[in-house]
Amino acid sequence: MTDIPMQRPAASNGHASTARAACCPILMYHQIRPLPPRSDVLRGLSVDPRAFRCQMRTLKALGYCGVSVAELQGRLAQTRSAKLFAITFDDGFRNVFEHALPVLDELGFTATCYFVSGKLGGSNDWDRGIATAEAELMDRGAMLEWLGHGHEVGAHTVDHVALSDVPAPTAWRQITHSKAQLEDATGCPVVSFCYPYGAFDANARRLVAEAGFRSATTTARGRVKACTDPFLLPRIAVPGGRGVVRFLGRFFR
């Protein structure tokens, strides 16, 4: 078993001199599918495919470029006025592959999808016990096709666990094994992480950094600057059932 690394003093991220660089949103999506019934408690985590297409086309028309988290990190300090935003999808749902991928390819956007490495080809069984229907997740073939279209594969633990609720050895295994499993499946480095449920603490943040990731996204609301802690990246959630005007209100707020 791999040992848990000892805690070391936090290192400077080296971005202080570029704090006035671009301030960019990271959009957070889960499922791209027709909205489920109002009785579904996770209805707000689904965005209708037509709404998603409208959102992306509108941002494109406004001169914005959608990129993956890894690409955003590399470009944040380049210019103050860059019209960049990152696109993320949590959990690796197959409906993202079916409905979002064609839109992204059409517009020349890239995105990051965070996969639960132990659930490829399965379903969101971590949601059992609440009033929501399970949905199919991408299998390895779909994930490889996603990657082959120029999009990023990120890690979301092995079993979709809340890292702040488990012992440190369990958190370490969930973080490191998800990275190793996805790298083995894709043959590519996996450098972006997402905290399931947005649940993290100082120890989880440290372990993600020690595991070799370059970034981690949260569910905290906000925009990203070059000086933002790369392991506490805020995002802007995109709820379902909202028109493009309200979407733009969230995007620009």
Q: What integer pLDDT is reported at residue 79 of this predicted model? A: 59
- Residue 27 DSSP symbol: E
Phi first, then psi: give them for residue 52, nearest 5 degrees: -60, -45
Amino acid at 76: L
* Contacts of residue 49, Cβ cutoff 8 Å, sequence gap at least 6: 32, 33, 34, 99, 100
Residues lower than pLDDT 50 in the chain: 1-20, 81
Q: Are 133 and 95 in contact (CB under 8 A)?
A: no
Total length of the chain: 253
List the CATH code of the domain at 21-250: 3.20.20.370
137 pairs with which residues across the strands?
Answer: 93
pLDDT (tens digit per residue) in 108-122: 999 999 999 999 999
- For 33, 100, 109, 218, the CA distances from 95, given in Å and listed in that order, are 6, 8, 18, 22
Sequence ranges of the domains in the chain: 21-250
pLDDT (tens digit per residue) in 152-196: 999 999 999 999 999 999 999 999 999 999 999 999 999 999 999
Please give the angle made by the CA atoms of 154, 155 and 159, to the nearest 5 degrees. 150
Q: What is the Cα–Cα distance from 36 to 17, expressed in whole angstroms?
A: 46
Q: Are 197 and 162 in contact (CB under 8 A)?
A: yes
| Closest C-alpha among 218, 214, 170, 159 to residue 15 | 214
Q: What element of type H or E holds 125?
A: none
Q: What is the Cα–Cα distance from 196 to 154, expressed in whole angstroms?
A: 12
Where b means 16+ CB within 10 Å and e means fewer, 25-60 reads bbbbbbbbbeebeeeeebbbbbbbbebbbebbeebb
